[in-house]
């Protein structure tokens, strides 16, 4: 049996060069290979930290697709502190869609302290979605111009409301994001949209949308505010108010709906008529 020699094998330099070249041409293994999920989180964190406001906004919007995830919830709560108002608003809406009650304190803080009215409304909408009725207070103030206690708005609250009324396009954007489209109540469609945009009265869409959301507020004080809105000079607001009264499902409101049957605007009359029939059927049950 041959015995291996302990002498070093000498190869020609040309062979060594070929071997080194071949080794160097091999692809290097990744130093830190990421799983697809880890990569996905890297993408989201990058979007949240991007210098582009559009990317940060988009990141906040897609977080609603990840309910029940603590990391996604944390990213959205960070978004509430973004320097860009639309990003904060998108974060607030996503927190509601993520269905996590642990987000309520952050949303309450945004509703009470944010200086952009659209962010305040987004936070309030999500509070309602999460079952916290404190969110209704914001929409009540928009409709009536005062707090439920009857006291007037002060300081930042007044500034927030005025900004919304002066810049109703912010409300349009938020309404679209919430899936409302541009019509905050049913049965009127395109004409309501055209009226809202042609009417010079600021804040018409804001108030109409507030009325839609207040339809589900169980507070009796809100019922009185909705009844008062049936006498508003803007027919869009009157129609929205009758729509909301119908949705409240309280047969005791029949007397308040009756005047709408003689409203000069057929859109309002039709809405009041539908409300009358709906509430009358409930009274018989």
Check whether residue 73 and residue 158 sit in a common domain: yes
Q: What angle do CA 197, 153, 143 make, to 5 degrees?
A: 35
What pLDDT does residue 195 have?
A: 65
Check whether residue 74 and residue 158 sit in a common domain: yes
Question: Within its chain, how far is the Cα of 253 from the centroid?
Answer: 31
- Which H or E run includes 26? none
Check whether residue 57 and residue 157 sit in a common domain: yes
Q: Model confidence over 193-215: pLDDT tens digits?
A: 566 666 655 677 778 888 988 99
**58-67, 173-182, 200-209, 233-242: segment of lowest average pLDDT:** 173-182
Check whether residue 105 and residue 68 sit in a common domain: yes
Residue 206 lies inside a defined structural domain of this protein: yes
Residue 14 lies inside a defined structural domain of this protein: no
- For residue 53 the two structure tokens come to 């406001």
Check if the beta carbon of residue 215 is closer than 8 Å to that of residue 244. yes
Q: Model confidence over 96-106: pLDDT tens digits?
A: 989 989 999 99
Q: Higher-confidence residue: 21 or 113?
A: 113
Check whether residue 161 and residue 192 sit in a common domain: no
Check whether residue 155 and residue 62 sit in a common domain: yes
Q: Higher-confidence residue: 188 or 261?
A: 261
Reference 126, options 27, 56, 134, 271; nearest CA is 134
Taking residue 246's Cβ as centre, other Cβ atoms within 10 Å add up to 23
Which of 112, 137, 166 terminates a domain? The answer is: 166
**11-15, 159-163, 236-240: segment of lowest average pLDDT:** 11-15
What pLDDT does residue 75 have?
A: 92
Check whether residue 161 and residue 188 sit in a common domain: no
With both helix axes pointing from N to C terminus, report the angle between 220-229 and 235-248 in degrees, rounded to the nearest 10. Answer: 140
Which of 166, 192, 222 terminates a domain? The answer is: 166
CA 208/CA 138 separation, integer angstroms: 14
Residue 245 lies inside a defined structural domain of this protein: yes
What pLDDT does residue 160 have?
A: 67
How many structural domains does the chain have?
2
Check whether residue 125 and residue 214 sit in a common domain: no
What pLDDT does residue 91 have?
A: 94
Check whether residue 134 and residue 194 sit in a common domain: no
Which of 141, 166, 191 terminates a domain? The answer is: 166
What pLDDT does residue 233 have?
A: 93
At residue 65 the predicted structure's pLDDT band, cuts being 50, 70 and 90, is confident
Residue 3 lies inside a defined structural domain of this protein: no
Check if the beta carbon of residue 60 is closer than 8 Å to that of residue 76. yes
Q: What is the mean pLDDT of the chain?
A: 79
Taking residue 36's Cβ as centre, other Cβ atoms within 10 Å add up to 6
**Cβ neighbourhood burial of 262 (10 Å; 0-12, 13-18, 19+):** exposed
Check if the beta carbon of residue 104 is closer than 8 Å to that of residue 132. yes
- CATH number (domain holding residue 263): 1.25.10.10
Mean pLDDT of 239-253: 91
Residue 227 lies inside a defined structural domain of this protein: yes
Residue 228 lies inside a defined structural domain of this protein: yes
Q: What is the pTM of this model?
A: 0.73
Q: Model confidence over 12-54: pLDDT tens digits?
A: 555 544 454 544 444 444 545 778 888 999 988 999 999 999 8
Residue 7 lies inside a defined structural domain of this protein: no
Check whether residue 56 and residue 162 sit in a common domain: yes
Check whether residue 113 and residue 197 sit in a common domain: no
CA 153/CA 158 separation, integer angstroms: 5
- For residue 138 the two structure tokens come to 């914001």
What pLDDT does residue 193 have?
A: 59
CA 259/CA 255 separation, integer angstroms: 8
Residue 112 lies inside a defined structural domain of this protein: yes
Query: What range defines the domain where residue 106 resides?
Result: 48-166
What pLDDT does residue 115 have?
A: 83
Check whether residue 248 and residue 162 sit in a common domain: no
């Amino acid at each position: 049996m041959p015995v291996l020699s302990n002498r070093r094998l000498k190869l020609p330099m040309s062979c060594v060069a070929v071997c080194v070249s071949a080794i160097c041409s091999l692809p290097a293994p990744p130093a830190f290979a990421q799983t697809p999920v880890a990569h996905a989180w890297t993408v989201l964190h990058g979007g949240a930290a991007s210098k582009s406001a559009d990317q940060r906004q988009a990141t906040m919007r897609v977080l609603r697709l990840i309910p029940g995830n603590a990391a996604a919830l944390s990213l959205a709560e960070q978004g509430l502190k973004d320097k860009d108002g639309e990003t904060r608003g998108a974060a607030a809406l996503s927190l509601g869609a993520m269905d996590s009650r642990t987000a309520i304190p952050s949303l309450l803080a945004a509703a009470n302290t944010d200086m952009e009215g659209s962010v305040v409304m987004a936070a309030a909408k999500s509070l309602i979605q999460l079952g916290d009725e404190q969110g209704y207070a914001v929409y009540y103030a928009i409709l009536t111009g005062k707090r439920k206690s009857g006291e007037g708005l002060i300081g930042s609250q007044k500034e927030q409301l005025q900004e919304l009324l002066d810049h109703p396009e912010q409300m349009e954007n938020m309404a679209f994001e919430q899936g409302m489209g541009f019509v905050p109540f049913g049965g009127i469609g395109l004409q309501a949209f055209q009226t809202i945009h042609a009417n010079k009265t600021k804040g018409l869409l804001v108030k109409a949308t507030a009325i839609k959301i207040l339809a589900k507020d169980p507070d009796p004080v809100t019922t009185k505010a909705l009844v008062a809105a049936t006498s508003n000079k803007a027919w869009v607001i009157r129609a929205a108010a009758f729509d909301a009264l119908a949705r409240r499902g309280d047969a005791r409101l029949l007397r308040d709906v009756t005047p709408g049957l003689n409203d000069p605007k057929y859109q309002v009359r039709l809405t009041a008529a539908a409300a009358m029939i709906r509430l009358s059927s409930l009274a018989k049950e």
